[in-house]
């Protein structure tokens, strides 16, 4: 007979590190892709007329009003049902990136709109083209203003990436869950997981608040 419960041992380090690595990978992918898409969508929304905005807005609204866990299950089942199955990493990355994009686009829109109209008019009157104004004035000023909020969204994405476990992606929480089943030692393992997230998130959130204070002055 094979033994069923075995206590946590140093041999499990590799297994846990795989989980840590996977959590980091999917978070980075979602933040990078979500930021780029969010920047484009945010800019488009700041620039476009009301009708386009309403259309854009309602799609983004769905992403923000349905729990991530449901989006993940639905998307991963749906792509399979139409004959394009995806592995958990790919499906998870797509959903998490779009979810991030929905929040990032609001952040960036706010940033771009915060650049005052008179500054743009001044730039144009100096003979800059539209795209020069965008490149030299609106992007640098708008992006700088959004840094603290960007940090906030990025941090919540790292934490939300734990949910990708429900579609079978072996990130940190799912590996630890399986270790808990094997060892029946939930407390030690859960505390370890908590510390990991805290170590990543705490310094970043403080840096974000520091930036916020610095910019407010």
Partner 1 sequence: MEYEFHWNIVLQKMPELLNGAFVTLHVSVLAMLLGVVIAVLLAIAKMNNSKPFCYVATVWVEIARNTPALFQIYMAYFGLGAFGIHLSPYVAVLSALVFINAGYLTETFRGGFQSIPSTQYSASKSLGMTSIQTYRYVILPQMLRRIYHPMTNQFVWSILMSSLGILVGMSELSGTTQRLQSLSFRTLEFFIVAAVMYFIITKLVLFGASLLSRRLFKGEI
Partner 2 sequence: MMKKLTAIILACVAFTSMNATADQLDDVIKRGTLNCGVVLDFPPMGYLDENNEPAGFDVDYCKDLAEALGVDANILNLTWGDRIPSLVAGKTDVVIGSTSDTLERAKSVGFTYPYFVFKFQVISNKDKNIESFADLKNLKVGAALGTTYETEYLAYAEQQGWGKDNYTSFKSENDAFLGLYQGKVDAIISTNTNIATKLQSDEFSDFEAGPYVPNYDDVVGIIAKRSEVAWINYLNLFLIRQIRDGNMNEAYNKYFGSDAPADLIKSLRDNK
Binding site for partner 2 (CB under 8 A): 1-6, 11-12, 15, 73, 76-77, 79-81, 83, 85-87, 166-168, 178-182, 184, 186
Determine if 211 is a binding residue for partner 1 (CB under 8 A): no
- Contact call for residue 193 and partner 1 (CB under 8 A): yes
Indicate which single residue of 21, 130, 135, 198 sits in contact with partner 1 (rule: CB under 8 A).
Answer: 198
**Cα–Cα distance for residue pair 58/182, rounded to 1 Å:** 45
Residue-wise burial string across 107-127, b where 16 or more C-beta atoms lie within 10 A, e elsewhere: bbbebbbebeeeebeebeeee
How far lies 7's CA from each of 91, 130, 182, 194, 208, in Å?
33, 65, 8, 20, 40
168 lies in the site for partner 1, by CB under 8 A: no
**Least distance in Å: CB of 92 to partner 1?**
14
User: Which of the choices partner 1, partner 2, none does residue 207 contact, using the CB cut-off of 5 to 8 A by kind?
Assistant: none
In the complex, least distance from residue 1 CB atom to partner 2, rounded to whole angstroms: 5
Q: Is 207 in the site for partner 1 (CB under 8 A)?
A: no
Residue 34: name the closest of 129, 108, 117 by CA: 108
Sole binder of partner 1 in the list 17, 52, 54, 66 (CB under 8 A): 66
Distance from C-alpha of 206 to C-alpha of 116, rounded to nearest angstrom:
29
Residue 66, contacted partner among partner 1, partner 2, none, CB below 5-8 A by kind: partner 1
DSSP per residue, 127-181: T--HHHHIIIIIHHHHHHHHHHHHHHHHHHHHHHGGGGGGGT---HHHHHHHHHH
Q: What is the x/- site pattern for partner 1, positions 126-165, by CB under 8 A?
A: -----------------------------x---xx-xx-x
């Amino acid at each position: 007979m094979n033994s069923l419960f075995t206590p946590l041992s140093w041999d499990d380090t590799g297994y846990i590190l795989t989980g840590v690595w996977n959590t980091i990978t999917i978070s980075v992918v979602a933040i990078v892709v979500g930021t780029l898409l969010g920047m484009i969508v945010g800019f488009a929304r700041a620039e476009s007329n009301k009708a386009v905005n309403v259309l854009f807005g309602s799609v983004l609204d769905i992403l923000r009003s349905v729990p991530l866990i449901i989006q993940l299950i639905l998307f991963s089942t749906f792509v399979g049902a139409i004959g394009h199955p995806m592995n958990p990493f790919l499906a998870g990355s797509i959903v998490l990136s779009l979810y991030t994009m929905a929040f990032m686009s609001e952040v960036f829109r706010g940033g771009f709109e915060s650049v005052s109209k008179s500054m743009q008019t001044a730039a144009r009157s100096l003979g800059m083209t539209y795209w020069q104004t965008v490149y030299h004035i609106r992007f640098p000023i708008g992006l700088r203003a959004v840094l603290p909020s960007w940090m906030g969204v990025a941090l919540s994405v790292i934490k939300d990436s734990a949910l990708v476990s429900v579609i079978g992606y072996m990130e940190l929480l799912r590996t630890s869950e399986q270790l808990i089943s094997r060892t029946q030692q939930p407390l030690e393992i859960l505390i370890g997981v908590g510390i990991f997230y805290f170590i990543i998130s705490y310094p970043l959130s403080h840096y974000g608040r520091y930036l916020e204070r610095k910019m407010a002055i």
